[in-house]
Chains A and B, each alone.
Chain A
Amino acid sequence: MSDPIKIKDNCVFCGACFKACPFGAITQAERKTAPVIDLQKCTLCGACVVACKFDAIWMKEKASTGIDLKAFKDVWVFAEQHEGEIQSITFELLGEGRKLADSLGMKLCAVMLGSNIQDKAQALISRGADKVYMVDRPELVHFQDESYGNVLIELVNRHKPNVFLCGASTIGRSLVSRVAVKVNAGLTADCTELAIDPKTLNLLQTRPAFGGNIMATIETPSSRPQMATVRHKVMKEAIVNPALKGEISLETIAEVLLQSKAHRLKFVPEVESTMNIAEANIIVAGGRGLQSVENFSLLRKLADVLGAGVGASRAAVDSNWIPYSHQVGQTGKTVCPKIYFAVGISGQIQHLAGMQSSDIIIAINKDPDAPIFKVATYGIVGDLFKIVPQLTAEFKKVLGK
């Protein structure tokens, strides 16, 4: 097999390509010699091709899929519901989806699966959906990977959406991964930015990788739909406008697609958690510096005053001070709240990977050299056992609670 990527003779040895390579696969022995691509390290990501100003890097073109892209219309949003309650991420997707649909001159559609859900359509229309596809069946009363996946695959094949957005929730990530594979679509996980390329009309999907150390913009040039999951709290919620009108399409689905080999026996809600931290606007998180499970009550008091969710570092979870579902960071959840309090958290890179895109970060730590201060909007150096109660009291006073 010939090499899938090559540096051509018109290379001027400027070095732009090896600076652009995120994988360290390009080396240039010295100036004025042609750079060399290490094919063992190269992932054909194409970053060097984009960086080269002289069109001196040739990369194998992807074979054409032969798909008629024009046959795919509309922007779809998966409307996630739990027990009939539409999840807030759906409204965020409708807000973003509206912009994309307008740039494409297409309709914005919501897709909802469930049982006895027909009264929910208006809530989606008043948030901007021009059309709501609904599959209302008792078998779909709660999420199941196979039946929900089968139904969405069928609807995608039936109506051919151009763009398909879904929340990067546990359900969303499990569900659309199945759909994308089955309909041969590209899927980009955890997007934080979406836009339409004005020239190609492709969806530009930007997402963090390597724990947020690099950002990648991804497109799906030759297959449809263009699928993406979107992180919580990154996009603005669509505003409610009761005057908006929309069409409702009740879809019929063959029985066989509603069956599932795996099935849910029961659901056990977490007793302690009152808030899903991925959806929280404010998070108060604690780490090793809290020293004991009892001291977590200090955080809970602050969280109560602020109406915040409680998060934790890995150290706190590993000490069994709080359940794993509260862990923020690389082996826990990635969160993006408006305000993040890091209390007694030193700020290991694994923790930062899970929270550094928060709008405002407030760090409280006794060690002035703690890495958390490098990302903090406001850093407080001092004893958290003195500071947190005072902070709680002051917020209580100012917020009039």
Chain B
Amino acid sequence: MRYIVCIKQVPETTDVKINPATNTLMRDGVVSIINPFDMYAIEEGLRLKALHGGTVTVLSMGPPQAETALREAIAMGADDGILVSDRAFAGSDTWATSYTLAMAIRKIGNYDLIICGKQASDGDTAQVGPGIAVHLDLPQITYVRKIETLDDKNIVAERLMENGYEVIQSPLPCVLTVVKEINEPRLPSLKGKMAAKKALIPTWKAADLNCDPKCLGLDGSPTKVVKIFTPAPRKGGQIFQGEPEEFIPQLVAKMKDAILGAAQ
């Protein structure tokens, strides 16, 4: 079995602060981490490897510093990492990103399962996993909360829906996107950290992928950002404290119309 886990390096959003003078995100000194949902994808790859054998390859597309994220995944136990990085990829939206990753996966070859996090915490689109599936003409199971069975030919997994879950069977190879409920990511081991230090991580450029240059970066991206702005910060409102007997009727009276309006 070969598991390919796609990961993205994102800013640790807890640290995202808005510069009040310029009203922009302050990214200086913001720590970069592996996208939280991708941690569950890595863990699931490692868990499946422990149960069924095989290798776990982590793949990331991003700037050169995204190599750190791949090393972190190797420290957790992934066998190897590949970075896909080229200025030709700048300006990629989810169409071009999923195309580029799909071409890299094709180059890796011999894969059985491609595992992605449900979505990235910076873009929140949840489009790249299904995009990879379509570019490779593969079935997909999104929002996976549990893998029930896996054998040489098939996977049975539970997909989290808004009102319950579905049990889905798919032939391999298949693309999964996973939610938090699926597992508890492990911490890196000492042995893993050593391996991560020593690991050779190849960087694949556009020329290394058998791809159509028109489908990369800006040219391969149908969407275009025309404006970026910070929403007006929400202001704190009225604070009630003291004896609940006094302020609760007051608050409830204020809320009554809103509640009745919302109930319609």
Contact = CB atoms under 8 A, between A and B. Distances in A.
B251 A380 contact: yes
Contacts of A327: 180
Contacts of A41: 63
A40 B64 contact: yes
Given A4-B218, A42-B90, A173-B126, A349 B14 contact: yes
> Most chain-A CB neighbours within 10 Å: which of B180, B224, B238, B242?
B224
A265 B165 CA distance: 11
Contacts of A211: 13, 16, 121, 124
A96 B95 CA distance: 25
Interface residues of B, number: 103
Contacts of B68: none
A82 to B, nearest CB: 8
Q: How big is chain A's contact interface, by range?
A: 35 or more
A189 interface: yes
B143 A209 contact: no
Contacts of A65: 222
Interface stretch (A127-135, A240-248, A388-396): A388-396
A261 B134 CA distance: 13
B234 interface: yes
A45 B163 contact: no
Contacts of A359: 258
A215 B238 contact: no
A381 B229 contact: no
B164 interface: yes
B69 to A, nearest CB: 15
A173 B127 contact: yes
Nearest to B18: A213
A329 to B, nearest CB: 10
B262 A217 contact: no
Interface string A88-114: 000000000000000000000000000
Interface in A201-251: 204, 208-223
A208 B135 CA distance: 27
B169 A4 contact: no
A43 interface: yes
B261 interface: yes
Given A40-B64, A374-B236, A380-B241, A145 B142 contact: yes
B45 interface: no
A6 interface: no
Contact of B263 (A185, A276, A282, A378): A282
B247 interface: yes
A298 interface: no
17 contacts: A19-B22, A45-B91, A45-B225, A45-B228, A173-B142, A177-B129, A209-B124, A210-B13, A213-B13, A213-B18, A213-B25, A262-B171, A263-B169, A267-B161, A338-B258, A379-B237, A387-B244
Interface of B: 11, 13-14, 16, 18, 22-28, 36-37, 63-65, 87-88, 90-91, 93-95, 98-99, 121-127, 129-131, 133-135, 139-143, 145, 156, 159-171, 174, 179-181, 214, 217-219, 221-231, 234, 236-242, 244-245, 247-249, 251-256, 258-263
Enumerate the 5 nearest inter-chain pairs by beta-carbon distance, A residue then B residue, closest first.
A186-B222, A44-B91, A262-B170, A177-B130, A186-B223
Interface of A: 1, 4, 19-24, 39-47, 50, 60, 62-63, 65, 82, 145-146, 149, 169-171, 173-174, 177-178, 180-182, 184-190, 204, 208-223, 260-270, 273, 276, 278-279, 281-282, 306-307, 324-325, 327, 330-332, 334, 337-339, 348-350, 353, 356, 359-360, 362, 368, 373-382, 386-387, 390-391, 394-395, 398-399
Given A180-B95, A221-B224, 16 more contacts: A19-B22, A22-B228, A24-B27, A45-B228, A170-B161, A171-B161, A181-B99, A208-B231, A216-B227, A218-B224, A260-B139, A262-B140, A262-B141, A334-B124, A368-B241, A387-B248
